[in-house]
Amino acid sequence: MQHAFHSDIDALYDNPDLDDLLPDLKGRRRLNLIRQDLADLGVAGLVEHVEPVFTKDAALDLPTALGWLYVAEGSNLGAAFLLKEAVKLGFSETSGARHLAGAPEGRGLHWRTFMAALDTVALSHADEGRVVAGAEAAFRRTKTLVDTIFGEAVPA
């Protein structure tokens, strides 16, 4: 599920317009860490390719992309709880659970830095609505991925 979601948004981390707005955008990318984790688990070959939501060549609606990145960055806060559970299963920030690791400066500061940059982006009222719609789309996509991968409906 994480691989599919981060594949959906991976192209955003190379977008120059987003890079101008958000600090250390490329350093926030997690897809390669997820791929390493899948290799650690011996399941890298089992991951199906899914056409990503965002591609490098497609036109980008900046507010929508900001909403998707908001969800991705926010998930880092909850990853602290998942990492604790992964450690109980024998995984770590260096094997099997790399993508759950916190930023070197700490999860809180990493999040606040992102939010401070997001708050400085000049957005019209309509643009703000598209940021929210992008975040909602990202949450719906995540729920769809979970339902598809685990084969059962997860309560909304």
- CATH number of the domain residue 11 falls in: 1.20.910.10
Q: Indicate whether 155 belongs to any domain.
A: no
Distance CA 31, CA 9 (A): 9
Q: Indicate whether 7 belongs to any domain.
A: yes
Q: How confident is the model at residue 47 (pLDDT cuts 50, 70, 90)?
A: confident
**Cβ atoms 52, 24 nearer than 8 A:** no
Q: How confident is the model at residue 18 (pLDDT cuts 50, 70, 90)?
A: very high
Across 16-23, average pLDDT: 93
Containing structural domain, residue 49: 2-150
> How much is the pTM?
0.92
Q: How confident is the model at residue 155 (pLDDT cuts 50, 70, 90)?
A: low
Q: Indicate whether 92 belongs to any domain.
A: yes
Q: Indicate whether 156 belongs to any domain.
A: no
pLDDT at 154 over 70: no
Residue with tokens 């991976």: 10
pLDDT at 151: 82
Domain count, the chain: 1
Helix (H, G, I), strand (E, B) or coil at 113: helix
pLDDT at 110 over 70: yes
At position 13, the amino acid (one-letter code) is: Y
> Burial level of 17, CB count in 10 A (0-12/13-18/19+)?
exposed
- Give me the chain's average pLDDT, please: 93
Q: Indicate whether 26 belongs to any domain.
A: yes
Closest-CA residue to 110 (of 69, 56, 140, 141):
69
Condensed to tens digits (0 to 9), the pLDDT of residues 116-133 reads: 999 999 999 999 999 999
Q: Indicate whether 10 belongs to any domain.
A: yes
Q: Indicate whether 45 belongs to any domain.
A: yes
Q: Indicate whether 105 belongs to any domain.
A: yes
The CA-based dihedral angle spanning residues 38, 54, 75, 32, taken in that order and rounded to the nearest 10 degrees: 30
